[in-house]
Amino acid sequence: MCKRPMPLQQAAEPNLTEHTLERLRKMILCGDLAAGTPLQERTFAERLGVSRTPLREAITRLITEGLVTRNTRGTPTVSRISVSEIVEILHVRRLLECEAARQAASVNSAPEDWLNFKATIEEFVTNERPNAVAHADFDFDLHMHIAKTAGSKLLAELIQGLKLKTRIFDQGEIPSRFQPGALEHIEIIDAILARDPDAAEAAMRQHIENAREAILAHIHRLS
């Protein structure tokens, strides 16, 4: 009996690829890998203790997310996000997330989840402020919960991709936004709990507008 030839390259185990993806994504979002850093396969496979296959698959996912691009030589490189791209991303986020907040306030969702988010915010404000990574994780989880509650898988996926691209600015880069951002999040949650779509949309719009102004001011200070 003839045996089937082995494939030239086997796919990595899903769990290993996901683990590698999460580690690389966190390194980018936390600033451990600066914009423009080349992701050489051999170097990072050794650094992460994995073979090249899961690393290659993880990098492909990061390219899809926009966190990594290929330079003129084809080398995957941590993306640089220009001011014009930030403006465009935040503009689209405002359109999508305002709609998500409106829809989230229009459905009959479990109040316990929203109350838990609100309690965590109040804990952040009244007690010791969380570190930058913990705060960014919470911010991401809250925005994604709103998007998923809206009930559209496509809407949630679009918001997730755009949020990842701007998340680096939530890593403690703009400490002056912590307190105002927390109060804005509470306002959004209260509107959703009250099932007031207009108020939820308005609160989200104000939140993203304020974040946009703070990010642009931060970028200009650095330039």
pLDDT band at 223 (very low <50, low <70, confident <90, very high): low
Q: What is the pLDDT of residue 85?
A: 85
Mean pLDDT of 100-122: 96
Domains and CATH numbers, the chain: 14-78 (1.10.10.10), 83-222 (1.20.120.530)
Predicted confidence (pLDDT) per residue in 53-70, tens digit: 999 999 999 998 888 999
Pick the closest to residue 171 from 217, 215, 121, 122 (CA basis).
215
Strand intervals (E) in the chain: 68-70, 76-78
Hey, what are 168's tokens? 């680096």
Pick the closest to residue 186 from 167, 199, 168, 171 (CA basis).
199
Range among 3-7, 16-20, 172-176, 189-193 with highest mean pLDDT value? 189-193
Top-confidence residue, 100 or 136: 100
Residues listed for the chain: 223
Predicted confidence (pLDDT) per residue in 150-207, tens digit: 999 999 999 998 998 887 665 556 778 889 999 999 999 999 999 999 999 999 999 9
pLDDT band at 119 (very low <50, low <70, confident <90, very high): very high
Model confidence, pTM: 0.76
What distance in Å separates the CA atoms of residue 163 and residue 199, rounded to the nearest whole number? 22
Number of other residues whose CB lies within 10 A of the CB of residue 174: 15
- 3-state SS of 193-212? HCCCHHHHHHHHHHHHHHHH
